């Protein structure tokens, strides 16, 4: 009887020794946490996600796509729309503004060739010397417009008027003032049917000379 009890006692001692070993884990592992959205996601963002899923998931099913796949399609479309809006709102206006810069920011102001301007003044002075002041002013205006059209045809159209030329940004202030002074007197002579006098001619002549940078001799 004692002999049969000895093996049982030895087995029990061996079991306790194994059980007490510190390098063997007997306690059950805790269950893994349930899958959930990342911690810290705001509730309003979760609500938007659920709303979008409720709205677009049926569309995705109609197209043969599951919601996880279709949501990436929507994200790509949203990114493309955002890029398009940035182009239309920011980039395109900058390009248009650069294209529409006034001519005086891109090129120096235009002035007539000195030799041509002096020849024009000489021809007009001959008319004025005969008392034909209106014709002299009209000659200044016509020939000046022709000079601009020959030099820069892109500035004028067939319907351009002297008053429109008088506000051309590509002309210096003296040029715009000269066209305004000459045009006002020519219009007065044409529409009022009254010829200009010596003072009118002197004003038109002086304005053109300043524009052409010609020093007049009195």
- Cβ pair 186, 162 in contact under 8 A: yes
- Cβ pair 213, 118 in contact under 8 A: no
3-class DSSP state for residue 96?
helix
Write down the H helix ranges in the chain. Answer: 2-19, 43-62, 67-86, 92-99, 103-106, 114-129, 133-151, 162-165, 173-191, 198-212
Joined together, the tokens standing for residue 24 give 């063997």
Question: Is the pLDDT at 190 greater than 80, yes or no?
Answer: no
Helices 198-212 & 114-129 angle (0-180, nearest 10): 170
pLDDT of residue 126: 92
**pTM beyond 0.75:** no
pLDDT of residue 158: 64
* Count of CB atoms situated within 10 Å of the CB of 151: 13
Name the residue ranges covered by the structural domains of the chain.
Answer: 43-100, 114-212
**Mean pLDDT of the 79-96 span:** 84
- Cβ pair 129, 139 in contact under 8 A: no
* Count of CB atoms situated within 10 Å of the CB of 137: 29
- Residues with Cβ < 8 Å from 197, sequence gap 6 or more? 133
% of the chain at pLDDT higher than 90: 1
Report pLDDT digits (tens) over 34-87: 555 455 667 776 777 777 777 777 877 777 777 777 778 888 888 888 888 888
Rounded Cα–Cα distance for residues 16 and 14 (Å): 5
**Mean pLDDT of the 84-112 span:** 70
User: How long is the chain?
Assistant: 218
Question: Is the pLDDT at 107 greater than 60, yes or no?
Answer: no
């Amino acid at each position: 009887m004692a002999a049969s009890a000895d093996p049982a006692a030895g087995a029990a001692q061996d079991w306790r020794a194994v059980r007490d070993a510190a390098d063997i884990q007997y306690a059950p592992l805790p269950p893994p946490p349930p899958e959930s959205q990342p911690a810290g996601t705001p509730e309003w963002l979760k609500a938007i996600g659920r709303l979008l899923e409720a709205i677009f998931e049926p569309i995705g099913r109609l197209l043969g796509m599951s919601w996880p796949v279709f949501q990436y399609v929507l994200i790509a479309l949203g990114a493309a729309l955002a890029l398009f809006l940035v182009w239309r709102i920011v980039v395109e206006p900058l390009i248009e503004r650069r294209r529409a810069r006034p001519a005086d920011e891109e090129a120096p102001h235009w002035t007539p060739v000195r030799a041509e301007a002096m020849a024009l003044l000489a021809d007009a002075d001959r008319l004025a010397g005969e008392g034909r002041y209106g014709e002299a002013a009209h000659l200044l205006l016509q020939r000046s417009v022709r000079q601009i059209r020959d030099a820069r045809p892109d500035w004028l159209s067939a319907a351009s008027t002297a008053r429109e030329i008088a506000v051309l940004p590509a002309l210096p202030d003296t040029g715009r003032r000269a066209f305004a002074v000459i045009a006002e007197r020519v219009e007065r002579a044409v529409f009022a049917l009254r010829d200009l006098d010596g003072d009118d001619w002197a004003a038109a002549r002086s304005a053109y000379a300043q524009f052409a940078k010609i020093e007049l001799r009195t």
